[in-house]
Amino acid sequence: MSEFKFLDYDGISLFSNCLVYQNEQKVQVHLLPVIHIGDVKYYTDLLNYIKNRTCIYEKINLASPNIERHKYAKNLDEYFEIASPDIEEFWSQYNKLLKKFYKKFLTRDVKSVCKMVKKEFKNFDTKLRKIYNDCIKSGFGIQNLYPIQLYLCEIMNLDHQIITIDYVDDIVHRTNWIHTDLDFDKITENVDLNELVEEMLEEPSPEILEILLKQIKLLLTNILGMVEFKMTPEISKRRELLANGLIQVLTQQFKEVTKITPNYILEGRNSMIEGQILNLIEDHEEIVVFYGVAHMGAIEKFVLEQGFSLKTQQRFKAFEIEDN
């Protein structure tokens, strides 16, 4: 992957690009990528672009109903306050199994990342240390990416998509918005979660073990990245680091990222989007795919395979490097 059309960085601002594709029947598919960390105006502009168009959107639900509210904490402090009791409860129930799992099943490369994280531990501030400890205590669940993103928002004076866009009282009631994402409740509808957790931690199948190891490595790698951001004192330099990092990851290093990302996070969700596009193009003239920017390369490839071609594009400023 040598070219990525969905992001632009000019040294002053980071932009995401909406690419519009059209087929012979004049049906249009708008690939509207979103960066999860940006200015409030950025998210307002994206919503204004969607307007009344039929919109396929993500809101990954990997939490059970009693902790769903964690995802909508307004800041990192509030997240810790809400999430801590459940994390401690999980830890008290499974701490022996978790310790046994880490000792028995962590591969050499994951242990290497763990060692690097511990080496950098002296550079962690209180909040990053809390995120790291919660990752350990909650079994490195993928939901721990959310506080990592909130930490980034905090140290860069930016906002988060989930907080800025009201998915609870607004989006969910818009009839033109179609939720197309993973849902923990449906996946585990007839599953005993206590038995599932014990089975995963005691003797996981090779498939489950691969997923868990990728989750652990992904989160540890993100935490290491946060140390680098925190060691960069100026907010403008942090934003510059983020902008350059996103461009680099989605062009030069994307294959490396997929190696440490569980398949369900990228490929699995891409398949859901593709199926939804096929369902909708029969009866709709315009469809917007409003998803994370990392998904757009694969979705573009799928749209082109369906006979669509690029018609036009529009860019949106995610944030400026200088903090105004």
In tens, the pLDDT along 271-291 reads: 999 999 999 999 999 999 999
Instruction: Provide the token pair at 196.
Output: 């599932």
Q: Are 234 and 146 contacting, i.e. CB atoms less than 8 angstroms apart? A: no
Chain-centre distance of CA 302, in angstroms? Answer: 21
**232: phi then psi, degrees, rounded to nearest 5:** -95, 110
Q: Say how many C-beta atoms besides its own lie within 10 A of residue 99's C-beta.
A: 12
- Of all residues in the chain, the percent with pLDDT exceeding 90 is 78
What is the residue-averaged pLDDT of the chain?
91
Segment holding 83, helix H or strand E: helix 76-105
Window from 129-138, 236-245, 247-256 with minimum mean pLDDT: 247-256
> What is the rounded distance in angstroms from the CA atom of residue 54 to the CA atom of residue 285?
9
Task: Say whether pLDDT at 103 is over 50.
Answer: yes
Residue 35 clears pLDDT 70, i.e. is over it: yes
Q: How far apart are CA 40 and CA 53, in angstroms?
A: 21
Residue with tokens 């990528």: 33
Percent of the chain at pLDDT > 70 equals 95
pLDDT band at 74 (very low <50, low <70, confident <90, very high): confident
Q: What is the pLDDT of residue 72?
A: 67
What is the Rg, in whole angstroms, of the alpha carbon atoms belonging to the chain? Answer: 20
CA dist 12 → 163, 166, 245, 281, 323 (Å) = 25, 29, 15, 38, 11
The span from the CA of 313 to the CA of 236, in Å, is 28
Please report how many Cα atoms fall inside a 13 Å half-sphere around the Cα of residue 160, on the Cβ side.
Answer: 21
DSSP bridge pairs for 29? 21, 287
- For 26, left (φ over 0), alpha (ψ -120 to 50), or beta? left
pLDDT grade for 131, boundaries at 50, 70 and 90:
very high
Separation CA 29–CA 290 (nearest Å): 11
- Supply the pLDDT for residue 271: 96
